[in-house]
Amino acid sequence: MVEEWSVPAWAVLAVATAALLVVLLGLVLAVRGRARHRRELERAQGETSALQDRLTALERRLPEPGAVPTSSARPVEEFVITRAGEPEPADDGRAPAVRAPLFADLVLRESVVQAASLTAGLRRALSPATRNRIRFEVKQEVRRSRKQRRADLRAARRDWEARQRGGLDEAAEGSAA
């Protein structure tokens, strides 16, 4: 009995080998990733214990919560974000003064910004795409108004003709009576 390999058998063998290599590569990467995560976890736990030791040392240096501070200890400063409870500063009604160079700089910057925005707006308004869109909408509106005018004219003509027929009918009835 002679065994001969055909082309499809080699293809199946190649696919199986490739699949086995992919599975092995996945296992190797998973093991390496797990080891890396384990090292990172151990490092994080070491840092946590070091921070816990520092916190304990800092807590030991603080005075007891009800203890009276001694004269050698620095007074504790209070940091307040708001001005609630403080008297309002006197307002004399004058606006804060701005020096001339700063004022000139502010005016110049504002003028430059306005000129730049105007230029950008004009450039956008005068772009070919915008002009074509406007031209299309104007043509569309002209067509719509012509159509409306024709419809109004037809309705007026029908009304006028109906009145004319009504007048003739009345005249015919008056002469027949």
pLDDT in tens, 50-94: 999 998 988 888 877 666 556 555 666 777 778 777 777 777 777
Structural domain count, the chain: 2
User: Predicted confidence band at 140 (pLDDT cuts at 50, 70, 90)?
Assistant: very high
Residue 11: give the domain boundaries.
7-36
Q: Residue 49 domain-assigned? A: no
Does the pTM surpass 0.75? The reply is: no
Reported as a pLDDT band with limits 50, 70 and 90, residue 5 is low
Is residue 45, in this structure, part of any structural domain at all? no
Task: Tell whether 46 is covered by a domain.
Answer: no
146 domain residue, yes or no? yes
Residue 139 covered by a domain: yes
- Structural domain includes residue 44: no
Q: Is residue 71 part of a domain?
A: no
Question: Is there a domain that residue 122 lies in?
Answer: no
Residue 127 has pLDDT above 70, yes or no: yes
At 7, the pLDDT band (50, 70, 90 cuts) reads low
Distances (CA, A) of 127 to 114, 120, 130, 136: 20, 11, 5, 14
Band of residue 27 on the pLDDT scale cut at 50, 70, 90: very high
